[in-house]
Amino acid sequence: MSELLKITGLGKSFGRHPVFEDLNLRLSEGKVYGLLGLNGEGKTTLIRILMGVIPACKGQIHYKDSEVFFRSAAYKEDVGYIPEDPFFFGWMKVGDLIEFNAGFYPRWDAHRAADLLKRLSLDKKTRVKTLSRGMKLRLSMAVALAARPTLLLLDDPTSGLDVPTRHDFLQGIIRELADSGTTVLFSTHLVHELERIVDHLFILHRGRIILDEGYEAVKNSTRRVRLAFPGDAPQTLGVEGLLTESRDGQRMEAVVYPWSEEKEKKIEGLSPLRLDVEPLTLEDIFRSFVAG
């Protein structure tokens, strides 16, 4: 699979407050990427930089092997963007907004726009300022998808959607897009929702990418171990890759990444009375990664 987007050494700060430094990411075609991070870690900032809304302080972005700059515009014909809080011109009607956007995108698919409006229950004659947040998100989706993007950037878009729409969006639209070759970078705080659709995970924490791995690989190589000892539990399990570790008298619990048989044997060497090794949900994995 060829590389679609490459971010190298990206840095951004607001005044004297650095948001992230030396960020490196690579996105390949046709995959769904999850971008996870706590609030304020810079997920929205990163996506806004990728959309050319704000400039980066340093680093490079390459799209399809061509470097893109803050001033660049042409690459955005390929990129759809659904922000967390959709911002439109309130005085426009839904139909006006669709028409307005059609002028910017050469691959604009009017039929698809009409289909999406219908599917998302949007009336062309409704004025944008009267739409609820959820409806604005739907409109945002319609605008982004009607442009037939090669890359879709989603900035925590599902939080305002009702459950059926969210389900339709995630399982229907996003999966459908990915299957048709569209690359999706999905930033969300509703981590569990990614579980069903994500191919690859990024975790942005304290200004750095601390996880850049395929979802299945992460899921298969992250384990929670629960131990019980006859006496006091040891100070540490003493294995590499401990994401979390806690002791409570004779009991001990830890999350290990990456998990391996060697590590399991080493832990067994501590002679616990009981040793339970279990996989984690994505939410637990995320929590473990950012816990430290």
Binding residues for another protein, per CB under 8 A?
Answer: 14-15, 48, 51-55, 70-77, 79, 81, 83, 85-92, 96, 99-101, 103-105
Q: Which is nearer to another protein, 14 or 176 (CB)?
A: 14
Cis peptide before 258 (omega within 30 of 0): yes
CA distance 10 to 18: 12
The packing angle between helices 94-102 and 133-146, to 10°, is: 30
Q: Find the shortest distance in angstroms from Cβ 6 to another protein.
A: 20
CA distance 186 to 144: 14
CB distance 138 to 86 below 8 Å: no
Q: Which is nearer to another protein, 73 or 217 (CB)?
A: 73
CB distance 151 to 185 below 8 Å: yes
CA proximity to 51, closest of 205, 193, 185, 209: 185
Q: Find the shortest distance in angstroms from Cβ 116 to another protein.
A: 18
Q: Which is nearer to another protein, 73 or 110 (CB)?
A: 73
Q: Which is nearer to another protein, 150 or 222 (CB)?
A: 150
Exposure string for 247-276, b = 16+ CB within 10 A, e = fewer: beeebbbbbbbebeeebbeebeebebeeee
**For the chain, what's the residue count?**
292
Q: Which is nearer to another protein, 92 or 210 (CB)?
A: 92
Q: Which is nearer to another protein, 104 or 192 (CB)?
A: 104
Q: Find the shortest distance in angstroms from Cβ 87 to another protein.
A: 4
Q: Find the shortest distance in angstroms from Cβ 45 to another protein.
A: 9
Q: Find the shortest distance in angstroms from Cβ 89 to another protein.
A: 6
CA distance 262 to 145: 47
CA proximity to 215, closest of 201, 204, 205: 201
Q: Find the shortest distance in angstroms from Cβ 181 to another protein.
A: 19
